[in-house]
Amino acid sequence: MTSKKYLLSVLLVVTLALSPVSVLLAKEGMWIPMLLGLLNGYDMRSMGLRISADDIYSVNHSSLKDAIVIFGGGCTGVIVSDEGLVLTNHHCGYGSIQRHSTVERDYLTDGFWASTHEEELPNAGLTCTLLIRMEEVTGQALVGVTAMMTEGERQDVIARNIEKITGEAVKDTPYRAEVKPFYYGNEYYLLVYEVFRDVRLVGAPPASIGNFGGDTDNWVWPRHTGDFSVFRIYAGQDNQPAEYSADNVPYKPKNHIRISLQGYKPGDFTFIFGFPGFTQEYLPSYGIQMIALTENPLRIDLRTRALNIILHGMEQSETVRLQYASKHVGIANAWKKWMGETRGIQLFHVVDKKRDFESRFQQWADADPVRKATYGTLLPAFREVYRELTPFRLAQDYYSEAAMRIEAVRFAYGFRNLGRFCETDNPDQTLIAGEVERLKHTSESFFKNYNATIDKELFITLLTAYINGSGDGLQPEILKMIQSRYKGDLHRYADEVYRRSMFVSPDKCLSFLARFRSSDARKIRKDPAYHLAGELGLYYQNAILPQTNKGYVTLDSLMRIYMQGQMEMETGRPFYPDANGTMRVTYGQIKGYDPRDAVQYNFFTTLKGVMEKEDTTVYDYAVNNRLKELFTHHDYGRYADTDGTLHVCFTASNHTTGGNSGSPVFNADGYLIGINFDRNWEGTMSDLMYDPGLCRNISLDIRYCLFVIDKVAEAGHLIDEMDIVE
């Protein structure tokens, strides 16, 4: 059943019988924007929306979707001026800010603001991507697919169909296209994108604002973080995407977003437009158990060990702090999320709730011979596949979170292609030369932010955990050999590796590449860091990956049927597809929440809370001096709320996940009121099960963002670019 037919079948239920339960369900979900008017339009209007679905998404005229971008590879951004000015999160721009920072010009700590276009900083590899259109292509994608095919045969046919669909979609255009499965392959959608490759840093607040609270406050409410940064999209003279050039000009978008200073109150309607990354809302209980109760504890433990080592090194040296700031944030983000997710799964008995649904599903399937034949064996099949998959998933986690967390090992593994190119009977010297040049650039970037002392500690700690944690049945032979040869003394093994390897020394590595000849490939193979990386990589590729791939291919097939069954069983329920990196709209209301007995959280925080958290002995709780001065004089300008306070952050019931970082938060009129940047810790389980009473998204109040730009940074020229509604 295609989504349009399915949505029409439930439209009457939703619009004419909006019971408390159906309204509650409608607040959950990551909805396909092109279908908003079909299903969600009435519900959104009944909650307060004052613009049309066509104003939100349209391919026939300018709409809000024309100002929403995929920022980089995993965030969202919003265009707020007719000169391509983009707002996103500070943590989304963190890597770019860090790469421009030095000890002498520490933009992470001190902030950065360009006064003119000429001062804006280019960022190699950073892109902003606009969705041109999306279209359901289920029928075209499934041409030639039959029920008798194996899963592999099915996917081969679909892949050929997709190649044809995308080729036709972008023929004679500069666009990029992809086709993605929705509802676990029950439907397919074509997405056509325009990719801008010249994106420049315009401004970033100091860390004492943009990262206030650091890892301690991450995933936690109440929050007081000014999590934003400012970039600009540049285009060629013809306003088309172009590689970086000094001749490029600010991009003129089809649309840019108006900004509201009018604030919000409890119960106000809000919606979020963005590119959420990945959710698994429809998994059976066995999948929840594997992810949240088996995998997460292992990954949390390994990342805790790594973070402790990195943080200690950062505390000892200003240089190391700059080198590892972005890495630390990247490791810590998922680490803390996994802790909250597992805690939420346990506290709110998610596995039991899934089992209750599965019991009803099984009864429904068994009640009809046709349904029983189609769905009756699904749940036992899930149980068996997850039982077989779990040990291999844990082995995969040891490889990625222990072995590949060691920087020298991961870096050395990147030289494997160079070695292979040189091992042929007639080496292609052009191919080799190109790879050498690529590795020179990679090496320079790697060593800029590398500390061998920290990495050696990671090596000893994480390799020890890998050896002790992986059982004999799934332990690579290289680890057994290390245990035997060094009698368990990983310090002695690490001393040898870090003394001999060229992959821990910029001088050795860059010198090796500078005079490289094909015959030098043997030096790569003999390098101890490369030898370890190669052996672990081979084991992973040959023993682990085939088994996990086999398990997931089977699960994909089962989930497609299970998803079909759930939609057939609950025909009156509005189903949304899991997040898959494509554009979605989520909506809800401004709300606080009650996480536990006798604890009630308000729906907003203020600048007063920043001052209350100040701790001059802790880097993450240092308060910017200019900010303190403005607070002392209550000098908030036009950005204060009606009660005279300056709001910093707020919470709402919009359903978000990773990828929604930087997503614009709109009010009922489609004006920007905030920038989404986080979820509450108690609600991080929302990737697996959304609880409307507990799950909250956390957003930066746009008034605080503008206040920092205007009053703290004194970058009023940026405010002048924006359309602001008082």
**What would the pLDDT profile of 28-79 be if each residue is shown by its tens digit?**
899 999 998 876 777 899 999 999 999 999 999 999 999 999 999 899 999 9
For the residues 409-415, what does the mean pLDDT come to? 97
Give residue for tokens 């920290």: 454
| Cα distance between residue 75 and residue 77, in whole Å | 7
Average pLDDT over residues 167-185: 97
Give the span between the Cα atoms of 210 and 370, in whole angstroms: 57
Residues of the chain with CATH 2.40.10.120: 1-127+197-279+578-726
Strand (E) or helix (H) holding 249: strand 249-250
- Residue 377: band (very low, low, confident or very high) from pLDDT cuts 50, 70, 90: very high
Cβ atoms 432, 418 nearer than 8 A: yes
List 700's β-bridge partners, or say none: 649, 675
Tell me which amino acid residue 726 is: E
User: Yes or no: is domain 1-127+197-279+578-726 CATH 2.40.40.20?
Assistant: no
Once rounded to an integer, what is the mean pLDDT over residues 239-249? 97
For residue 20, pLDDT beyond 90: no
**Averaged pLDDT score across all residues of the chain:** 93
Condensed to tens digits (0 to 9), the pLDDT of residues 123-132 reads 999 999 999 9
Residues above pLDDT 70, as percent of the chain: 96
Catalytically active residues, by annotation: 91, 227, 661
Give the CA distances from residue 552 to residues 297, 415, 464, 536, 578, in Å, rounded to whole numbers and listed in that order. Answer: 21, 29, 29, 22, 16
Per residue in 122-159, pLDDT (tens digit) is 999 999 999 999 999 999 999 999 989 988 899 999 99
Q: What is the pLDDT of residue 307?
A: 96
Q: 690-721 pLDDT, tens per residue?
A: 998 889 999 999 999 999 999 999 999 999 99
**What value does the mean pLDDT take over residues 14-20?**
33
Section 286-299 average pLDDT: 95
Q: Quick one: tokens of 24?
A: 């509650």
Q: Count CB atoms within 10 A of the CB of residue 65.
A: 23
pTM of the model: 0.88
